[in-house]
Amino acid sequence: MHATTGKTTKHAASAPFRAADYLQADDLPGYLAEVMTDGDTRALPLALRDAADVLGMAELARRTGLNRETLYRTLSANGNPRLDTLGAILDAFGLRFSVKPARKPRRAKARKITKPKATPQRMRKRA
C-alpha cells in the first residue's frame, strides 16, 4: 500500500502479526490445545514458538529440562522436533499428547434383500 503526499510516494509501515504480542502465560494452555484440535500440523510448531516467546526461552528451558540451544533449534522454522522433545514442551505448558481413533466416514447401511414369503395365493399359482 502506498501513501501519496504530493509528488512523493512512501511505503506504508506495517508489521507482521505476532500472536505472542496478544497472549499471556495463562492463555497458553488453551491456545495450544485449540491449535492442536484444529488438525493443521503446520500450525503447531508456529504456536509453540509463539508460546515460547510469551513464556521466555529461559523459563521454558527450566520447565522442560532442555537447554535453550536445543529449544531454539527445535522451535526454529527448520526445526524437526523429536516426539520426546515435543512431549516435554507440551508438558511445560500443562498439556500432553493424546491419541484417539480417527473418524471414519459413515457408510449407508446396506439394505438386506429378502425373498418374499410364500402366500397361499402364490402357492396356488405354482401348482
113: pLDDT strictly greater than 90: no
Cβ pair 47, 31 in contact under 8 A: yes
Q: List, for residues 61-110, the tens digit of each pLDDT value.
A: 999 999 999 999 999 888 888 889 989 999 998 888 887 787 776 666 66
CA–CA distance, 60 with 53 (Å, rounded to integer): 9
What backbone torsions phi and psi does residue 17 show, to the nearest 5 degrees?
-70, 130
Higher pLDDT pick, 22 / 10: 22
At residue 46's C-alpha, the angle toward residues 59 and 69, to 5°, is 45
Identify the H or E element spanning 4: strand 2-5
Global model pTM greater than 0.75: no
Neighbours of 71 (CB within 10 A): 24
- Residue 66's pLDDT is 94
CA–CA distance, 48 with 90 (Å, rounded to integer): 8
CA distances to 88, 101, 103, 123 from 64, in Å? 5, 29, 33, 81
